[in-house]
Amino acid sequence: MRPQPLAACLALAVLLPLGAAAQPAPAPAAPSAPAPATAPVPAAATPTGSFDNGRVLAYTCQGCHGITGYKNAYPSYRVPKIGGQTQQYLTQALTEYRQGKRRHPTMQAQSMSFSEQEIADLAVYLSTVK
* Rounded distance between C-alpha atoms, residue 89 and residue 69, angstroms: 21
Which stretches does DSSP call E strand in 2-130? none
Q: Which amino acid is at 90?
A: L
Q: Domains along the chain?
A: 51-127 (1.10.760.10)
pLDDT of residue 68: 79
Q: How many residues does the chain have?
A: 130
pLDDT at 84: 92
Report residue 78: phi and psi, to 5°.
Answer: -70, 135
Residues of the chain with pLDDT under 50: 1-4, 6, 11, 14-16, 18, 20-22, 41
Question: What is the C-alpha separation between 34 and 2, in angstroms, rounded?
Answer: 58
pLDDT at residue 5, rounded to an integer: 52
Q: What is the pLDDT of residue 18?
A: 47
